[in-house]
Amino acid sequence: SAVISQKPSRDICQRGTSLTIQCQVDSQVTMMFWYRQQPGQSLTLIATANQGSEATYESGFVIDKFPISRPNLTFSTLTVSNMSPEDSSIYLCSVDKPGQGAYEQYFGPGTRLTVT
Amino acid sequence: GENVEQHPSTLSVQEGDSAVIKCTYSDSASNYFPWYKQELGKRPQLIIDIRSNVGEKKDQRIAVTLNKTAKHFSLHITETQPEDSAVYFCAATPMGGYSTLTFGKGTMLLVSP
């Protein structure tokens, strides 16, 4: 598996501001992912972050709103920009780690964001 | 892209009963199917997975079955316990390596003592 940490664990922010979420993993990984989980809902992939290249965004998510950095193989950040109440959600990072014959995905503890 | 349907959305059972959660997927290229358990306020945890070269996999009280022809897979929990109460998510990906997962909408399982 993997030991993954996120900072902050939660935050309350005012609309129009930005928040940067950090994700740290205990070993080098090639792929890191960022998800959003709205209350009572499933997980929606925002983007895939590969070290040394631009993040790949899913439909409905854009770089200007959710800029991502991936400076090395153990760390990534997701910024939620110009926030509105609709951005209130849990944001989770995840990583792929080698499992039994293929890669398995493990999640960080999440960042609970409330926008007022 | 891939679409994963999951049923039921909620499931209530008595302790000791079995529980079955079913998922269907749309992309015939999908070949990796993990299941996650998410307790309230916690992160999703990988509990079992299956790859398309296998029809069934067991791990103690949980098992997963896969029918590639029908494009559906199921999670089976036997002898349920109150601590099994959680939301369970199925997922699928067409990539055997790095997994861009598509998740089902989740099933809330409640096990009553």
Neighbours of B32 (CB within 10 A): 23
Distance CA A55, CA A74 (A): 15
Closest CA to A49 of A33, A73, A29: A33
CA distance A110 to chain B (A): 7
Chain A and chain B share a number of CB contacts under 8 A equal to 52
What are the mean pLDDT values of chain B's consecutive 10-residue runs (113 residues total)? 94 98 94 95 94 89 96 97 98 74 96 95
**Residue B13 pLDDT:** 98
Q: Which residue of B has its CA nearest to A31?
A: B98
**Residue A108 pLDDT:** 97
Q: Per the CB < 8 Å rule, is A104 touching B51? A: no
Q: Which residue of B has its CA nearest to A102?
A: B97
Mutate to test the interface with A, among B6, B48, B100 (most CBs of A within 10 A): B100
Give the closest of B36, B43, B96 to A108, CB-based. B43
Element (H, E) at A111: strand A111-115
**Residue A101 pLDDT:** 57
- Summarised one tens digit per residue, pLDDT across range A24-35 is 999 999 889 999
Whether the CB-CB separation of A112 and A10 falls below 8 Å is answered with yes
Q: Which residues of A58-85 are buried (b: 16+ CB within 10 A; e: fewer)?
A: beebeeebbbbebeebbbbbbebbebee
Give the closest of B32, B96, B106 to A42, CB-based. B106
Q: Per the CB < 8 Å rule, is B89 touching A107? A: no
Give the closest of A43, A44, A101 to B51, CB-based. A101
Distance CA B24, CA B63 (A): 16
**Residue A2 pLDDT:** 84
Interface of A with B (CB under 8 A): 1, 30-31, 33, 41-45, 48, 92, 96, 99, 101-110
Q: Per the CB < 8 Å rule, is A104 touching B103? A: no
**Residue A52 pLDDT:** 81
Q: Which residues have CB under 8 Å from A29's CB, separation 6+?
A: A2, A73, A74, A95, A96, A97
- Summarised one tens digit per residue, pLDDT across range A50-63 is 888 889 999 999 99
Listed as ranges, residues in chain A with pLDDT below 70 are 99-102
Token couple for B58: 């067991």
Q: Per the CB < 8 Å rule, is B101 touching A45? A: yes
Give the type of residue at B92: A
**Residue A47 pLDDT:** 95
Give the closest of B46, B98, B103 to A42, CB-based. B103
